[in-house]
Structure 1
Amino acid sequence: MAADVSIKKTSAFSQRPNTGRWLKLFPLVTLAAFMLPILAGILGTLLPAFHFLPALGGNHLSLEPWRQLVAYPGIWHASLLSLATGLTASLLSFAIVCLITASLYQTSAFARLRRVLGPFLAVPHTALAVGFLFLFSPSGWIVRTLSPWATGWDRPADLTLSPDPAGVSLVAALVLKEVPFLLLMTIGALGQIPTKQNLAVARSLGYRPGEAWLKTILPQIYGRLRLPVYAVIAFSVSVVDVALILTPTTSPTLGILILRWFNDPDLDQQFMAAAGACLQSLLVMAAIGLWWLLERGVILMGRWRLERGTRDNRFTGSSVWLLVGGLMALTASACMAVLALWSLTRRWRFPDTLPSQWTAMNWSRYADQLTGPAASTLIIGLAATAIALVMTLGCLETEKRHGIRPGTKALWLLYLPLLIPQTAFLFGAQVLLVASGWDGSLAAVVWSHLLFVLPYVFLSLSESYRGLDDRYARSALCLGAGPGRVFWRIKIPMLLRPILVAMAVGFAVSVAQYLPTIFAGAGRYATLTTETVSLASGGDRRLAGLFAFLQAMLPLAGFWIAIGIPNWIYRHRRGMKGEA
């Protein structure tokens, strides 16, 4: 990106200062398309929060929306529920990732764990939430499996298992989804430091492997994990689609209340909704602030223990955390399996463990209802991913040709849409779209998805692109090839696998978007995600399972394609398989 950059003289194109001047436009265009709408959206939310929105009769600044917000029944319970569930899910996710990595790092189990991350990363939050609901509800698959022989129940019990008012199921589902993401970020950070040497020194001083990892490796990589952790906190505190599925209507989170107010036919509720969106931002800031204080406490305690040279012989061995990781993977797999079961079910009465009658006719019976949302999901996802890929490649190639390397400030800009609650700027962005006449257009929906797809595509591809050996480009330049030919004939083929994986990640992110589709699409574009959320609380589990299962399969298909195409293209070139 364009901000906080330092110039390096090691670029393969440093002796060709006039090559690709037009490439310098890519960071500027990317920042403009990326940052200006977000800032405008924040302003468009902040002003109505103080009763200034002339289109709805708000012609003067006032604190009335905040008075209404404070007086709204249940507002503080909803706020505390959002803060508690978000922080708890983030803390558990990070702790589990650290302990699993500390216990299993440099083992064959950890290598196998890395290979199965892709499928779990691809599953959208909403599909996993629906599967979790079908698994743990009072009439869920687990209760059916245990009934009646273990429970004595021949009908669903009146229990608050999932959804539950305390948000336990919401926390559990968020942990299942965020652990693979943080684990992937941790693996990427581990590749940037000399872990073997550090662990060898720590082991020579008498530390056990897990304790050595926590005391020598984690402090070195945490700086690289801070932004991903903050992004997880922001998402968990402000999540709406998963909360709609896994919390009861009588105990909503703040995000659900804000969505209700935005969709209320009474337009005066828009002002209170904007104030609620600002309150949501304050909650996220408070959660990140509490996490920062926790960081400081852990740092002080860690220094104290290191200075004393204590050894913790109580550190849990690898078998326990291998079991924890296995149980999480099994639970996530069971969530997907129960979706597949319901999509093929004709009759499944409680307490039968499996359907008594199976059918594949559900897919043809509901084909008309599936086709439109599936097509919209594909079109929007592919368009947003393609635009994000072009922007990313343009920015990365600019770095290479002109010796530019983004600094920390650019990374913060990249994470900005992930650190701000979606409601905090999507409402303002919708106001902007209405004023420009783009509201409800396909271009608006694609753009709204692009805001979240671009950071993930850039983060997925940047390290591979920057890590490509410059000697390949130098050799081609010495043989007379121009920079453009080097890009298309050398870099793209060698980076085919990372490029396709980045596209798969971007497409998976687009498929999962719920609020951007609703706000920018004005209800005109139904996707698999919006339909899945609507059907999750309905009475037809077959239809809900079918939509959720298809929603999960599309991103998985993207990852399979990203892995399969390079394997097939370079099936006779072993070296290219390693680079691609």
Structure 2
Amino acid sequence: MRVLRSLSWLALRLVALPVVGGVIGTVMPAFGFMPVLGGETVTIDPFRRLLATPGLGWSAALSLITGLASATIALGLAAGFTAAASGTAAFGRMRRLLAPLLAVPHAAAAFAFAFLVAPSGFILRLLSPWATGIERPPDILVIGDAAGLSLIAGLVLKETPFLILLILAALPQLPVVQSRRLAASLGYGRMAGFFFLQWQPLYRQVRLGVLAVIAFSSSVIDVALILGPNLPAPLAVRLAQWMADPDLSLRFVASAGALLQLGVTLGAILLWLGLERVAAALLSLLRDRGMRLRRDGLFRLLAVALPLGAAFLLIGGILALFLWSLAGFWPFPDVLPGDWTLRSWRQSWKGITDPALTTLYVAFASAALGLALAVLRLATRPSRAPAGKLARAILWLPLLLPQVGFLFGLQFLAIRTGTDGSYFALTFAHLIFVLPYVMIAMQDAWAAMDPRYEQVAVALGRSPLAVFIRIRMPMMANALLGAFAIGFAVSVGQYLSTVLIGGGRLPTLTTEAVALAAGGNRRIISTYALFQSAPPLILFAIAAMLPALLWRNRRAMAG
């Protein structure tokens, strides 16, 4: 058992050491020290060059605003939906929608959103000309607007389901039904009762997830390349462009910029923590003044309609991608194409084999390793152990730091060790992000299992290993399949780690789809986005259906 417990720390080391090493590898070139590129002395010249870059201030501001705005809106939608709909049929429907929504990679979701809301997008086609009188696409900058509104909206579409998932995982730990009855007996409306009695303890359970959304949204690259502004682009996008520039001296500037991005993300998190205090004080003030909001029907309707509308908007975007992939001639404002063709699929198929195989190999390998390490960790160190909080903080570390803050350094380390561009290094880079999500998906179900099943087996003379294999693992089959599907989807959606650690020699479906964004060929883009979305969606479907087949004679285990 001691050996297994020692090995269980391997999961935490595999997360912490690369992140810490990557940060160190970013800090050194930021101060001019990188002998392999001729940087022999410590200097602040990279920061001078960085600060002299035109538009840097607005790029940093865009990142800050994007992180805070998308997290605020997504959390508001998730919390409002939970307050209005928990325990209702709408809540159950959203539960069923979560898996396919989470399976869609960020880049594919961004393309889906763009194809809906663009001036010649599907929404305007549905409304034109009968409702709008428009017969030509309006000359309006919707996608890539200077304020980043389309970028924020695209992120909200993807982050709201993630936050709802975290809330769903935290709800069973709270006396929801009792609190609702108590609030009703005191004359509070459903939503007021939720926010006054349940929200603060619930928020403490999901706070790290909210901070992770801020960190991701403030430093996202693939979604920003598709939906964000270009002149100037958000800070993380500019840093990635400098890292890919043939002028190697820009790598020093990019590393200095990565530290600035760390500062921007940290600033966004600190501002959020300040807003938490303001919101808590405001909530207490409203409660103390006796605001009960008994007649909250309109608020409840909006709180349910907005997240469900966002979910169906994303589904509609996927449908728009499918239509464009089969479209021949499709003039505006026709709702459907004038003719249908498989030309885009045939054209894409020629170059998609290698990226698809790389995507599947790395995703399966990283998800399987992540699941094995998560099971090892959970089996040998329960969440109630004293080191639980430290372990949780370490696991969340890659999600709370901007990727450019440590992946630049990790790329330098991979180059120095000669592993860049290898499947091993790419799988390891994906594992850093896959493992935390697999642990998040597994730990609540693992802790919730009734220990009496195992106690009975031990009392009947079974060894601990036999109990683990014959009792624990079969009863965890549903959670294991779901966690594997989530880890697989996280790997498929990785962009920056693939570009940097893959060294451009291991393209995936995600990197190819994002690279096509600059081309503007909607038919080819749509086919790549669908190819990118298909493997996670298929795996989520298998994870949902397989338990019913495995346990068809055990109805309680099939759900």
What TM-score range do you get, normalising by the shorter chain?
A: over 0.9
The one of 499, 506, 531 aligned to 1:518:
499
1:10 maps to none
> Residue type matched to 1:94 in 2?
L
1:56–1:502 CA distance, 2 compared to 1 (3 A): same
Q: Unaligned 5+ residue runs, structure 1?
A: 1-19
CA distance in structure 1 between the partners assigned to 2:11 and 2:306 by the alignment:
41
Aligned match for 1:84, one of 56, 65, 70: 65
C-alpha distance after superposition, 1:98-140 (max 9, x if no partner): 1111111222211222222111111111001011111111221
- Report percent identity of matched pairs: 43
Residue 363 (structure 2) aligns with: 381
Alignment-mate amino acid for residue 350 of structure 1? F
2:427 aligned with 1:446: yes
The CA distance in 2 between the partners of 1:105 and 1:24, in whole Å, is: 39
What aligned pairs does 1:322-361 form with structure 2 within 5 A after superposition?
322-361=304-343
Q: CA deviation at 1:403?
A: 7.9
Give me the whole-angstrom Cα distance separating, in 2, the residues matched to 1:22 and 1:577: 34
Q: Indicate the larger mover: 532-541 or 181-190.
A: 532-541
Secondary structure of 1:358 counterpart: coil
**Alignment-mate amino acid for residue 362 of structure 2:** I
1:276 aligns with 2:263: no
Give the aligned partner of residue 479 of structure 2: 498
The answer to whether the aligner puts 1:233 opposite 2:202 as a matched pair is no
Per the alignment, residue 556 of structure 1 pairs with 537
- Name the count of aligned residue pairs: 558
Q: Which amino acid aligns with 2:423?
A: L
Unmatched tracts of structure 2, length 5 or more? none
Query: 1:11 is matched with which residue?
Result: none
Q: Secondary structure at the residue paired with 2:328?
A: strand
Aligned partners of 1:248 and 1:403: how far apart in 2?
46
- Partner of 1:498: helix, strand, or coil? helix
> 1:435 aligned to 416, 431, 444, which one?
416
Tell me the residue number matched to 2:199. 218
2:487 maps to 1:487: no
Cα distance in 2, alignment partners of residues 160 and 251 from structure 1: 15
Q: Is the 8 A contact 1:398 1:404 kept in 2?
A: no
Separation in 2, partners of 1:478, 1:105 = 40
- Select the residue among 30, 43, 48 that pairs with 1:67: 48
> In structure 2, the residue corresponding to 1:346 is in which secondary structure?
coil
The answer for the alignment partner of 1:463 in structure 2 is: 444
Pick one of 227, 238, 242 that aligns with 2:223.
Answer: 242
Counterpart for residue 175 of structure 1: 156
What are the equivalent positions in structure 2 for 1:20-59 lying under 5 Å apart?
20-59=1-40
Q: Distance in 1 between matches of 2:54 and 2:343?
A: 46
Letter in 2 for 1:210: M
- Residues 541 and 310 of structure 1, relative CA distance in 2, 3 Å threshold: closer
3-state SS of 1:311 partner = coil
Query: Which amino acid is the alignment partner of residue 338 of structure 1?
Result: A
- Residue type of the partner of 1:77? W
Match of 2:520 among 539, 549, 554: 539
One-letter amino acid of the structure 2 residue matched with residue 109 of structure 1: A
Amino acid at match of 1:428: G
Q: What secondary structure, in the 3-state scheme, does the structure 2 residue paired with 1:439 have? A: coil
The residue type paired with residue 372 of structure 1 is D
Deviations 1:378-425 (A, max 9, x none): 00000000100110111111125x984642222111100000000000
Per-residue CA distance 1:122-170 (angstroms, 9 max, x = gap): 1111001011111111221122233334444443322111121211110
Alignment check: 8 A CA contact 2:12 2:395 kept: no
8 Å CA contact 2:32, 2:39 repeated in 1: yes
Partner amino acid, structure 1, of 2:552: R
Give how far 1:342 is off: 1.3
Question: Is 1:201 equivalent to 2:185 in the alignment?
Answer: no
Q: Does 1:137 align with 2:118?
A: yes
Larger CA deviation: 224-233 vs 300-309:
300-309
Give distance in 1, aligned partners of 2:384 and 2:524: 53
Match among 96, 114, 124 for residue 77 of structure 2? 96
Q: 1:262 to 1:198 in 2, by over 3 A?
A: same
Instruction: Confirm or deny: 8 A CA contact 1:199 1:212 kept in the other structure.
Output: yes
